[in-house]
Amino acid sequence: MSTAIHVRCNAAIAQAKAPGPRAQDSRLVLAATILASSLDFIDGSAVNVGLAAIGRNFDASAANLQWVINAYLLPLSALLLLGGAAGDRFGRRRLLIVGIVIFAGASVASALAPNLHFLVIGRAMQGVGAAMVMPNSLAVLGVEFSGQAKGQAIGIWAAAASVASAIGPVIGGGLIDAIGWRAIFFLNLPIAAGAIVLVCLFVNDVPEKGRAPLDLIGAALVTLGLGALTWGLTNGAGPQGGSIQTIAALATGSLFLLLFIANEHREGERAMMPLALFASWSLVGLTLLTLLLYGALAALFLLVPYLLIQGSGYTGTAAGAALLPFPLVLAIASPTVGKVATRIGARVPLIVAPLIVAAGFLLLAHTSLGRNYWTNLLPPILVIAIGMAGTVAPLTNAVLAAVDQRHAGTASGINSAVAQTGGLFAIGLLGAVLSAQGAVLVADANVVFVIAAIASVGAALSALALIKSR
């Protein structure tokens, strides 16, 4: 569900420049992009609810079960910027269709997976498809609409994303209860079919000529680096702890990321992550804030449904509905906060709002999940949602304001990839919690929520120390 909170495709909107040939009906172009991006929003939130059932079916260890989520986030985090650049170079319509086909095929493979290893492979391919779909779905809107119409189209897309993320856990939980966890992957097929039809009929663009070659070396290095680090964190959080394999994986991942930075320095403006952007202290602060805050949220969206099912006996449907107030509060409150941030600047909201999120996590850490939902679990979820509603719009605006207009799309894309990376690392550290049972599971989860509160305070301090007043 957290994927919908960070509108990662605003990078592609900012990068979209000259409009291509107009589609026959702009409303159907908007419908095509919403349907395509809904694959990510619905699937991502539904799989979190299905994690407990998948673990029981395959008798999976906690360390292996984490890769059901991380195998998806890893290529999405690493290839997000490359997917947008490929759309600019080869055509956004083409990348949309290819990405949807890959996502749909990977969904079938995941649904039919005979064991956990095949499921992880299917999830990884879903991540590759999503990395093509997400940065190009809104890029299409960037060339189809202009002026006030563009803002309205983006607003409709964002609202649809919130709705998709809200209904994903509920539909997924219902399918799990009625049919089984495999049904949540088959759910993607009619959505993908509808998206392909609309894209083929109504989306039409021309690849940009004269684009620099894709930074394939950078993409390979960052993927290997994030993969090794994630494996090391997952392994280190399990019973093996600081084994030689864990240390070797962490060292290897760090080496690949250093090589990635060296490659980006060598590529200069052609890099997928130009290092010159980080001369802006505001962008550094926003990057740290995003990494910490979205890492904390990833723990929330994974642990709460898992705890409710494993520790409190909730059905999949009920566990999926438990977090439903979160996207609803976000959708209602974010526009108002965006207007306020436009008047007073982003710095104050980005200091105050993460502190509200931290307060919500502390409340959640003292919650007994077996008690009444309305008086016990709902209040901390609402507090966290209010804090995030105060963060999303100011964060997007601040990222775009931290660099010159020419680099606005790249900076926004980097920030979006960092949001996914924060979730990737956070989930990699949850092995000990997912392997626990009963009272130990609840106690360990409460420790995680306290750590999430500390991370949220760290996000506020990043804003206080590094983000400029205006």
Neighbours of 68 (CB within 10 A): 24
Six-digit token pair at 164? 């998709």
Residue 107 sits in a domain of what CATH number? 1.20.1250.20
Q: Are residues 99 and 188 in the same domain?
A: yes
Indicate whether 315 and 445 sit together in one domain: yes
Do 206 and 220 fall within a single domain?
Answer: no
Residue at which a domain ends, from 190, 213, 236: 213
Angle (CA) 186-418-444 rounded to 5° is 75
pLDDT tens digits for range 429-443: 887 788 888 888 888
pLDDT for 209 equals: 65
If asked whether residues 469 and 408 sit together in one domain, one would say: yes
Same domain? For 413 and 430 the reply is yes
Amino acid at 256: F
* Cα–Cα distances in angstroms (integers) from residue 48 to residues 66, 104, 302, 309, in the given order: 10, 19, 6, 11
- pTM for this predicted structure: 0.85
Structural domain harbouring 230? 216-271
Residue where a domain terminates, one of 227, 242, 271: 271
d(CA 127, CA 447): 30
Domain end position, chosen among 238, 271, 304 = 271
Residue 221 and residue 347 in one domain: no
Say whether both 182 and 198 belong to one domain: yes
User: What is the tens place of the pLDDT at every residue in 138-171?
Assistant: 778 777 777 667 767 776 777 777 778 778 888 8
Map tokens 């070396």 to a residue. 217
Residue 21 sits in the same domain as residue 167: yes
Asked if 108 and 16 sit in the same domain, the reply is: yes
Q: How many domains does the chain have?
A: 3
pLDDT at 376: 86
What per-residue confidence (pLDDT) applies to 18? 45
| The residue type at 426 | A
Both 183 and 200 in one domain: the answer is: yes
Those residues of the chain that have pLDDT short of 70 are: 1-24, 147-148, 151, 155, 206-212, 238-242, 369-371, 405-409, 469-470
The residue behind tokens 């979190």 is 48
